[in-house]
Amino acid sequence: VWAAIEAQCWPEDLAADEAKCGARIDAWPEGQWGAERDGRLVGVVTSQCLSSAFLKSGAATYARLTDHGAYGASHNPSGDIFQLVAVSVSPDARGMKLGRLLVDHALDFARSLDGIARRIGFTRPIGYHLHSDMKIDGYLDLRDENGRWVDPVLDFHLRAGARVTSCHADYRPEDGDALGYGVLIEYPL
């Protein structure tokens, strides 16, 4: 069922298939949550823990940092970094704060874990392909007339208190909407 939500929410190349969803649950069942509505799974938030040493030891890419989305070789139960990997809500259940509820639940859980010093995520600037004439830093700062970030995913996180730490080209080259970029955000503890 989780894989069906993925397929509804992510471009084909980026969606986790059944094997990956199963591998995530095997790696760290406590870090995977779903939201139900009328008895139906409509949203998922997925996370893992990393050690700072692992984060620093190589390129900031989705493939390396999440073991291609399966977490088997990346999740470290004694890691000091809690990583929100993705949040997905079915299109017909969006706009009801389920995404926020899921992320806040995961962030609260991270606070309850011993030894967590940072709560991070590599988020996708999904509207960057529409502004590819701009430098990425300028795009990340772009606001609309109401002061909201033009990028909807950044807006989702930054309005809730996350901060941008750094920006990484080739984080996920197959992410055409984000032109491959990953934006490292951090929710202060």
Ligand X SMILES: CC(C)(COP(=O)(O)OP(=O)(O)OC[C@H]1O[C@@H](n2cnc3c(N)ncnc32)[C@H](O)[C@@H]1OP(=O)(O)O)[C@@H](O)C(=O)NCCC(=O)NCCS
Min dist CB 114 to ligand X, Å, is: 26
Q: Which of 11, 77, 138, 152 binds ligand X (CB under 6 A)?
A: 152
Site for ligand X in 85-114 (CB under 6 A): 86-89, 94-100
Min dist CB 27 to ligand X, Å, is: 18
Rounded-to-integer distance, Cα 138 and Cα 24, Å: 35
Site for ligand X in 44-73 (CB under 6 A): none
Count of residues that bind ligand X according to CB under 6 A: 20
* Residue 124 CB partners (closer than 8 Å, separation 6+): 153, 172, 175, 177, 178, 181, 182, 183
Q: In the beta sheet, which residues pair with residue 49?
A: 82
Q: Does 155 bind ligand X (CB under 6 A)?
A: yes
Q: Does 140 bind ligand X (CB under 6 A)?
A: no
Q: Does 124 bind ligand X (CB under 6 A)?
A: yes
Min dist CB 177 to ligand X, Å, is: 8
Rounded-to-integer distance, Cα 17 and Cα 31, Å: 18
DSSP SS3 for 142: coil
Say which amino acid occupies 154: L
Rounded-to-integer distance, Cα 164 and Cα 123, Å: 10
Instruction: Summarize as ranges the residues that interact with ligand X (CB under 6 A).
Output: 9-10, 86-89, 94-100, 123-124, 126, 152-153, 155-156
